[in-house]
Structure 1
Amino acid sequence: MAVVGLVTSPLMGEIADRAAHEMLDEDRVAVVLTDAAGALESQSLRTPGAEGDDLRAALERVRGVFEAYDAEGALPPVETANALRSVIESGSTSPGVEDVRALLGPAENYGGLISFRYVVPLSGFLIVVFGLLYIRQRRAGGYRAERLS
């Protein structure tokens, strides 16, 4: 169980984000995020409470992507995917959110497929390990009931 929660899930997410990033056109992402940032900024100023907090958090993620882009000259894969997701989940009603959704959806589908391609061999390895344990146990005489005293 720990393998799934501690290793496989984060590994699959990392692989999916990197593969999805390969599908994204940097120029298109920059345009869409710029539009989304403008909409989020104006909407967050008018929206109080928790909804406004969600909008501001999404805006901060988008700004973080642009800061990384300015520093490195390329969009950071994981941060870009997270910023796009946060724009979608922000609750913004701007048309730019649909552009983000249209951009991210196909890329995430591709990333999910690729992550399974990399992680599925792990299950084959586990089948071999547990199969060997089963065979070893059977050769040793299998399970024997013992009386506790």
Structure 2
Amino acid sequence: MRLTTRTNLAARTLMFCAVNDGRLVRTSDIAVRCNASTNHVARVVQQLQAEGYVETLRGRTGGIRLAKPADRISIGAVFRIFETEIPFAECFDEVRNTCPLAATCRLRSYVVRALEAFYHELDLVTLDDLVRGNCGLMDLLAMTPDFSSGCTKRPLEA
């Protein structure tokens, strides 16, 4: 199984917003820190906003931020939004399925069970689980150092 780029960017975007909680962040900042195209991030942000995960504020001083607390954002729910548009295999696509085995193949039912188990595990993970206490992530994504968190290394005194 391989996640789409959009799903990966959605997770990165949400982690960026969670690390910078309480601040408005720009899609261009997310793109730079997460090694992504600004256009791709903007499309992901638009979908995250439509689904109620982030709120956006337009204008020169605008940006995005989480629309709900990180501990109420299920990673499984987010992944479903971005992954369900693309069928896992040809036989999962009711319109374009041309597989001659579809009517008798047992593999599909096992794949369905495996996908359900995958999403079940991700349903147990919140955005907060991904960022809380993750000093490496905070050091990479924080817009300003937060010395109170104990994560960012303080500069050596001369």
TM-score higher than 0.5: no
Structure showing the higher strand proportion among its residues: 2
TM-score, normalised on structure 1?
0.24
Question: Which has the higher Rg, Structure 1 or Structure 2?
Answer: 1
TM-score, normalised on structure 2?
0.23
Structure showing the higher helix proportion among its residues: 1
Higher RCO structure, 1 or 2 (CA under 8 Å, sep 6+): 1
